[in-house]
Amino acid sequence: MSLPWLLLLLHPIFSYSFIYNTFKSNHHNPNLTLNGIADITSNGILKLTNVSTHTIGHGFYPDPILFKNPDTNKVVSFSTAFVFSIVPRYRKLGGHGLAFTIAPTKDFIGAQPSQYLGLVNVTLNGKASNHLLAVEFDTVQDFEFRDISDNHVGVNINRMKSVNSTNAGFFIDGNSTKQDLCLHSGKKIQAWIDYDADKHQLDVTLSIYSNKPSTPILSVPVDLSPTFQDYMYVGFSSSTGVLASSHYVYGWSFNMNEKAESLDLDLLPSLFQFKTNKKRFRIWFMASIISAFCIIVIIVAVYVTTKKFNNTEVAEYWEHDLGPHPYSYKELKEATKGFSHKMLLGFGGSGKVYKGVLPDSKMDIAVKRISRQSKHGEKEFLSEVSTIGRLRHRNLVQLLGWARNKGELLLVYDFMANGSLDKYIYSSNNPKKILTWDQRFKIIKDVSVGLLYLHEEWEQTVLHRDIKAGNVLLDSELKGRLADFGLAKLYDHGSNPITTGVVGTLGYLAPELTRTGKPTTRSDVYAFGALLLEVVCGRRPVEVKASPEELVLVDWIWDKWREGRLLEVVDARLQGVFNKSEVMVVLKVGLMCSSDEASVRPCMRQVIRYLEGKVPLPEKLGPSCDDAVKGGFVVEIKEFAPSLMKMKSV
């Protein structure tokens, strides 16, 4: 054997490199391995996803690449450059993003779309066995992963929560100010990712030009050796969710141990290729101007003659449909008889609610009309749509769809034949509106199950943040359903939520909320406790018209408890017809939930166990589940009796 061959065997040469200026098959490069809905367009662009919702696309270099030097077992330096663009379905909203990926596989079995970018799923997320490096170009802010914005670049190792991330941008040499860059503008963006094996540093650099700026936008100190296996695959992964973008990669270079070649943007294919010479272009341009002029004349003529444009929807193309069921404004207007006063069901937290009948299907709906002036603006609207669109439970009011008109937002919900619970609790002595004890108890249990789903059973914790009788709706069978998730915000299980302004309704606001402003599942439980007491007593948590000792419902019930006359608080309209032990359970649970001390309130799972009689109520009312697990404490019942003073200060 000759000497060079021997050297080669002893020291595998780390000079692996490739450059794609097109992904069309040619003799320079092997075809990429495609997965999911990924495809190569006829002019050689890698199209990872289109604007269909909930899809995944993968495009990977077909062969595994040796990343570790067998002598040292260390990952060697590598470098890559690629050009991508993101064209969203709705101009202002990307969904979800793409990631340059290095992984031990090209298959990603079990990977989920949406926030998982087609790389992992809820159980795989965070596992060391993923051996995964992903540099994400993310256009949706997932609170679950603490995303900093809906336009960021992040370095992810084995998990979707980034090691570090930064808002997309780039530097121009000689200028130290970061230039803003919108990832989903549809423009070509070049990205460079460089790993320095000596410094243990991963740099990400962006630009809208062919040349690489000398300053990266993100530098993450990391040793990839523990993460990587010897052989790894490199490529791109992308996904869409409720929101969707087309994700494209135009060119790609990769180099082991050396800097990757930058790509020349002019040499790459384009999405729309007009191969026109100047003369042809001029003719085309003139023709366009003339036809545009004709069209305008026709439109003006139509407008003048019919003047029927009063109701025209503002035709921003992305606004026509978002989520699973888009409706047209016209359809909803017809359904609600032109938002007639007669169809008005009530005033929600953020707008008027109308009854409607869909013209085609004759289906009953409720339309929440959110005015432009309302604080419940576009961002909240979109968070509501994308969150509720995915929540499904028999004790929640299902969001069916939405529409827009001139900045006004319309949400379409299942129609609940029997309206909201508050009408029954507070209203009149109309005998038809008096719920029996069995009905009340059933509704309480329904709501508790719905709230448990939000808190613990969905993939993320969802806080309701405005539980009250007005937000409990009754369907045709008087089944209770929680409504209005406009205030719900997502956050990780078991960690502190993002601080936001205090929202909620007087009498349902947990005392710590006014101090800290941080809503938690415990503040939801507080409001739920107030609801329980109301349903039993048939009055508001704070009744201004009541006598001073009855002003604050919770305090009044505590007083009666101490006097041993608890059953006197029960709604007189029940005329004594109720199951005493059930009423006692509900009142006690209501008091436990209404504790001033958040840590002694039970969690919803515990509440349900009490309500179902599966677990007896403690004689001494004790700590909640979480604290019990931690070996918590037991509190004498009088120690957490709320003080009238504090309640009044709310």
CB of 37 to ligand NAG, least distance (A): 4
Nearer Cβ to ligand NAG, position 49 or 383? 49
DSSP state of 93: B
CB of 35 to ligand NAG, least distance (A): 12
- When asked if residue 148 is in the footprint of ligand NAG (CB under 6 A), the reply is no
The continuous run of DSSP H or E covering 293 comes out as helix 278-306
Nearer Cβ to ligand NAG, position 52 or 514? 52
């604050």: which residue's tokens?
A: 552
Nearer Cβ to ligand NAG, position 271 or 344? 271
Q: What phi and psi, each to the nearest 5 degrees, are found at residue 429? A: -105, 20
CB of 240 to ligand NAG, least distance (A): 9
219-237: b or e for each residue (b if 16 or more CB lie within 10 Å)? bbebebbebbeeebbbbbb
Among 34, 40, 202, 218, binds ligand NAG (CB under 6 A): 218
- Contact partners, residue 51, CB within 8 Å, separation at least 6: 87, 88, 89, 240, 244, 245, 246
Nearer Cβ to ligand NAG, position 37 or 172? 37
In the shown chain, the binding pattern of residues 19 to 48 toward ligand NAG, with x for contact by CB under 6 A and - for none, equals ------------------x-----------
97-103 and 480-482 beta bridge pairing: unpaired
Instruction: Kindly state the number of chain residues that form the binding site for ligand NAG, as judged by CB under 6 A.
Output: 8
- When asked if residue 219 is in the footprint of ligand NAG (CB under 6 A), the reply is yes
* 3-state DSSP of 173-203: CCEEEEEECCHHHCCCEEEEEEEECCCCEEE
Preceding amide of 96 cis, omega within 30: yes
CA 572, CA 565: separation in Å to the nearest integer? 14
CB of 237 to ligand NAG, least distance (A): 16
Residue 470: CB atoms within 10 Å: 21
Nearer Cβ to ligand NAG, position 247 or 588? 247
- Contact partners, residue 537, CB within 8 Å, separation at least 6: 553, 557, 569, 570, 571
| Single-letter amino acid, residue 102 | I
CB of 274 to ligand NAG, least distance (A): 22
Residue 270: CB atoms within 10 Å: 13
CA 423, CA 429: separation in Å to the nearest integer? 11
Among 164, 167, 185, 374, binds ligand NAG (CB under 6 A): 164
Give the three-state DSSP class for 152.
strand
CA 382, CA 346: separation in Å to the nearest integer? 23
- When asked if residue 50 is in the footprint of ligand NAG (CB under 6 A), the reply is yes
Nearer Cβ to ligand NAG, position 121 or 215? 215
The continuous run of DSSP H or E covering 290 comes out as helix 278-306
Give the three-state DSSP class for 579.
coil
162, two tokens: 């980034």
Closest CA to 187 of 92, 90, 271, 97: 271
Q: Which stretch binds ligand NAG (CB under 6 A): 50-58, 206-214, 401-409, 591-599?
A: 50-58
466 is catalytic: yes
- When asked if residue 158 is in the footprint of ligand NAG (CB under 6 A), the reply is no
Nearer Cβ to ligand NAG, position 115 or 246? 246
CB of 249 to ligand NAG, least distance (A): 16
209, two tokens: 């030009």
CB of 592 to ligand NAG, least distance (A): 41
Among 51, 148, 503, 546, binds ligand NAG (CB under 6 A): 51
- Contact partners, residue 437, CB within 8 Å, separation at least 6: 574, 577, 578, 579, 582, 583
Nearer Cβ to ligand NAG, position 50 or 516? 50
Nearer Cβ to ligand NAG, position 172 or 650? 172
- When asked if residue 363 is in the footprint of ligand NAG (CB under 6 A), the reply is no
Selected catalytic residue, list 142, 147, 466, 555: 466
Q: Which stretch binds ligand NAG (CB under 6 A): 49-57, 98-106, 472-480, 559-567?
A: 49-57
624, two tokens: 């909640």
CB of 53 to ligand NAG, least distance (A): 9
CB of 567 to ligand NAG, least distance (A): 58
Among 25, 31, 52, 579, binds ligand NAG (CB under 6 A): 52
CB 60 within 8 A of CB 201: no
Residue 434: CB atoms within 10 Å: 18
Residue numbers annotated as active site: 466
Binding site for ligand NAG (CB under 6 A): 37, 50-52, 164, 166, 218-219
